[in-house]
Amino acid sequence: MLPLLPDSFPQAAARHLYDAKILLDQQRWDNAVYLAGYVVECSFKVLVEVYIPEGKTAVKKYGHDLTELQGKAIDRLRLMYPVLMQLPTSQTQGTKLAENHPGRRYYKSGIWNQTEAEEAVNRAEEIYQEVITKLVLDGIISSNEF
Residue 97 has a pLDDT of 75
Span 4-42, pLDDT tens digits:
667 888 999 999 999 999 999 999 999 999 999 999 888
What does CATH list as the number for 9-145? 1.20.120.330
pLDDT of the residue at 65: 62
The domain segmentation of the chain, as residue ranges, is: 9-145
Window from 17-26, 36-45, 49-58, 64-73 with minimum mean pLDDT: 64-73
Is the pLDDT assigned to residue 74 strictly greater than 80? no
User: Residue 79: pLDDT above 70?
Assistant: no
d(CA 20, CA 28): 9
User: Mean pLDDT, the chain, as a whole number?
Assistant: 79
Run of H or E residues at 68? helix 66-68
